[in-house]
Amino acid sequence: MKENRSVIEKKHQVKKINIFFLLISLLIIIFVNIISTYKFFRLDLTAEKRYSLSKATKEMLRNLDDVVFFRVYLEGKFPAGFKKLRNETREILNEFRAYSSNIQYEFINPTRSEDQQETKNIYRLLMEKGLEPTQVYYNEEGGSNTQVIFPGAIVSYKGREVPVQLLNQQLGVNPEMVINNSIQALEYGFAHAIKKLITPLKPKIAFLEGHGELDMYETADISMELSDYYAVRRIKLAYDDPDFQSYVIETGDSAFVSKDTTGIDPNIDTNEVNDVLISNFVKLQFDWLNTFDALIIAKPKFEFNEKDKFMIDQFVMNGGKVLWFIDPVYITMDSLISNPATLAFSLKLNLEDQLFKYGVRINNNLIQDLKSATIPIETGRIANQPQYSYLPWLFFPIIMPEASHPVVKNINALRCEFVSSIDTIAIPNVKKTVLLSSSAYSRALNSPVPVDLSLLRNIPDQRLFNRSYEPIAVLLEGAFESLYKNRLLPPAFLAMAKDIVIKETSVPNKMLVVSDGDIIRNQIRVDERGQIIPLPLGYDRWTRQTFGNKDFVLNAINYLCDDSELIYARSKEFRLRMLDDTKVQKYKLFIQLANVILPILIIIILGLILYFYRRRKFSL
């Protein structure tokens, strides 16, 4: 009897303990729910924090004041890789929605209609909106099939729309890595699209003119792309610049605009009047230039005078960003076509001392690279018709970005033309980051360089290509010293700049130096009516390949000008945990049996252990 009473009391005690823990668990759940209504948090247990948004993204999402709607065209029947991209896209949008109720989305299948004409109209509409189609192949019962898909999204906000390309194509990268890299870029792509839509005032960017820079047709595509994010202008550091004259009118100095000096005291010496006007002009031009956030200097050919250098230098000192796309050696394909053997010579741009002061030196040489683009060359004639072959042109390197910096991370290969090497200089308080460099098999030829198209027909001697990874794009960050620090200026120049306070050290700043002006130049074609039609930046009209030049320039400008740190979302890296196909085939049967039988055995063993434990514990 005593034993039975002891067992009954023990059962009652266990029951009380279970009820106690049940009540505690319910109280904890209620408490957590109450706290969660006041304090929002999410736990990301993945190794690479796959579902953790950047601080800048979260802040932007919390401040949304209206609905941002995503139409994602990743629905339908397609291979597993695109299904993974679709699922990850839905996950990232759910993450966005967790931080803002103004995020809404819809997944759409653009091929759902059985009417072919309607499908073509949908394709045309999506292409007009800026989405690029991709043709995919997949297997199904009875054979393989092809399908055109649009791996992209249209983001809309308050009546405005922007396209977002979800698939980031990369030359020479296997499909699994392309999908993985595209997934890594989802947060940045969506967040940047939202920022573009909600930004009321666009930062101002200027393309500099007046020194033989690339014209409006050669920079048309990048200008159009930038205009979605920035107010883009083409300016000259001269009196007759229309943008400058508008600025002067806005400041109220209309007498200066019309060069009207009738209101000046006639007793004042004429030379003094000229000095006043010139000084006023330089000061106004200086103030006007500082209204821009960034200055793009795209492939100048003529020398910079001291005034223009001073303007650019003080623009940097006051926080302005500069992107230098400089060709130190002059040679063009047009000159080679008219003269197949010509000489590439150094340009006198008068920028060497300024760039040296900031931390780099662009060398007067040309890089040849075994990893190079092809160009068409006439190799014969059949029935009096020229026959062309595409041969690698060593002066046109194909640059594969390998740095982990967000400007170049996971972008496509870049196509360069007649590029030079860059040396970095040990300047205090200035950090140098090499963003682009040549391949492991390159060499540099010092100017003057003989360039001959007949080299296309020769097999290059690989032993000569013994210089590896020559820098061609360097990012400079830090506090720059002025070129005019501790420097005696000419008296005439002092008179012009007497109303300007010369800063000798910059605020924390950034600039980019690229030793190839053609990286930012788009190709053009002339139609039957003689009209010039710019082609997309990075598109090679001969091989019909699209390179990553546009993404590089856009990322660089975003990095330099955007203070929200959204660009760092591109640094997110997801490790691709791929199976070893050889081992899978070798141990296929063992893996199948282990995955089917082992879980069942574990459950049976645990059940037996629990059964014998309870039997022993509660046995009489």
Looking at residue 440, its pLDDT comes to 92
* pLDDT greater than 80 at residue 540: yes
Q: Give the pTM.
A: 0.77
Tell me: pLDDT of 494 over 70.
no
Structure tokens at 305: 């005078």
Rounded CA-CA distance 113/118 in Å is: 7
Encode pLDDT of 268-279 as tens digits: 333 443 445 556
pLDDT of residue 271: 41
- Indicate if the pLDDT at residue 620 is higher than 90: no
What b-and-e string marks burial along 201-235, b requiring 16 or more CB atoms within 10 Å of the CB? eebbbbbbbebebbeeebbbbbbebbebbbebebb
Read off the pLDDT of each residue in 139-153 and give the average, rounded to a whole number. 72
Could you check whether the bond before residue 401 is cis, i.e. omega within 30 degrees of 0? no
Q: Report CA-CA distances (Å) from 51 to 38, 63, 83, 92.
A: 22, 20, 18, 7
pLDDT above 80 (res 51): no
Q: Which of the pair, 480 or 122, is modelled with greater confidence?
A: 480
Q: How confident is the model at residue 100 (pLDDT cuts 50, 70, 90)?
A: confident
Q: Inform me whether the pLDDT recorded for 492 exceeds 80.
A: no
* pLDDT higher than 50, residue 187: yes
Least confident range from 219-223, 420-424, 489-493, 560-564: namely 489-493
Which residues are CB-contacts of 163 (< 8 A; sequence separation ≥ 6)? 129, 130, 131, 152, 153, 154, 155
Which of 51-60, 368-377, 489-498, 575-584 is modeled with the greatest confidence? 368-377
pLDDT of 591 strictly over 90: no
> According to the per-residue pLDDT averaged within each range, which of 141-145, 164-168, 551-555 is highest?
551-555
For residue 405, with 0-12 CB atoms within 10 Å meaning exposed, 13-18 middle and 19 or more buried, which class applies?
middle
- pLDDT value of residue 47: 56
* pLDDT band at 306; cut points 50, 70, 90: confident
Longest dimension (CA), the chain: 130
Q: 387: Cβ–Cβ under 8 A, 6 or more apart, which residues?
A: 378, 379, 380, 381
The HSE-up count of residue 505 (CA atoms within 13 Å, CB side) is 7
Return the higher-pLDDT residue of 23 and 143: 23
pLDDT at residue 155, as a whole number? 93
- Reported as a pLDDT band with limits 50, 70 and 90, residue 519 is very high
Q: What is the mean pLDDT of residues 313-340?
A: 90
- Edge to edge, what strands does the sheet with 103-107 contain? 103-107, 68-72, 152-157, 160-165
Q: Is the pLDDT of residue 221 over 80?
A: yes
Is the Cβ–Cβ distance between 172 and 400 less than 8 Å? yes
> Which letter does DSSP use for residue 505 in this model?
B
Output the six-digit token pair for 162: 């922007």
Per-residue model confidence (pLDDT) at position 614: 77
Q: Judge whether residue 174 has pLDDT over 80.
A: no
Going by C-alpha positions, the residue among 385, 436, 366 that lies closest to residue 408 is: 436
Both tokens assigned to 421: 């090497």
What band does 257 get if pLDDT is binned at 50, 70 and 90? very low
Query: Which pLDDT score is estimated for 208?
Result: 95
The H or E element that residue 278 is part of is helix 270-289
pLDDT of 189 higher than 90: no
* pLDDT (mean) for 201-222: 93
Can you give 425-483 as a three-state secondary structure string? CCCCCEEEEEEEECCCCEEEEECCEEEEHHHHHCCCCHHHCCECCCEEEEEEEECCECC
Sign of CA dihedral 108, 111, 112, 118: positive
pLDDT category at 185 given cuts 50, 70, 90 is confident
Tell whether the model's pLDDT for residue 305 goes beyond 80.
yes
Distance CA 584, CA 579 (A): 7
Split at pLDDT 50, 70, 90, the class of 417 is very high
Whole-number mean pLDDT of the chain?
82
Between 571 and 460, name the one with better pLDDT: 460
Bridge partners (DSSP) of residue 155 are 70, 162
Q: So what's the pLDDT on residue 496?
A: 64
What's the CA dihedral at 577, 581, 583, 586 to 10 degrees? 150
Tell me what the mean pLDDT of segment 350-377 comes to.
Answer: 93
pLDDT of residue 269: 37
Query: Which of 80-84, 145-149, 432-436, 572-576 is least confident?
Result: 572-576
Per-residue pLDDT, averaged over 41-64, amounts to 73
> CA-to-CA distance for 493 and 498, rounded, in angstroms?
8
Identify the CA nearest to 364 among candidates 351, 347, 376.
347
Radius of gyration of the chain (CA): 32
| pLDDT bucket at 219, cuts 50 / 70 / 90 | very high
List the single range of 180-194, 306-320, 359-373 with lowest mean pLDDT. 180-194
Whether the pLDDT of residue 424 is over 70: the answer is: yes
Highest-confidence segment of 11-20, 66-75, 138-147, 290-299: 290-299
* pLDDT of residue 77 exceeding 50: yes
Within 447-604, strands assigned E span: 449-452, 471-478, 509-514, 524-526, 532-534, 539-540, 545-546
For residues 131 and 495, the model is more confident at 131
CA distance 368 to 222: 27
Q: Would you list the DSSP string of 300-359?
A: --SPPPHHHHHHHHHHHHTT-EEEEE--SEE--HHHHHH-SEEEEEE---S-HHHHHHHT
What are the tokens at 308? Answer: 């223009």
Higher pLDDT, 131 or 582: 131
The pLDDT > 70 percentage for the chain reads 83
- From CA 180, how far away is CA 357, in angstroms rounded? 41
What is the spatial distance between Cα 253 and Cα 499, in angstroms, rounded to a whole number?
A: 16
For the packed helices 220-227 and 549-561, what is the interaxial angle rounded to 10 degrees? 40
**Residue 448 binned pLDDT confidence (cut-offs 50, 70, 90):** very high
Tell me the mean pLDDT in the region 298-314. 92
Q: pLDDT band at residue 264, thresholds of 50, 70 and 90?
A: very low
State yes or no: pLDDT of 154 exceeds 80: yes
Determine what percent of the chain is predicted with pLDDT higher than 90: 33
CA distance 605 to 602: 5
What is the structure's pLDDT at 261?
37
Angle, helix 306-317 to helix 270-289, in steps of 10 degrees: 40
Is the model's pLDDT at 354 over the cut of 90? yes
pLDDT value at position 564? 60
Tokens found for residue 259: 């060069």
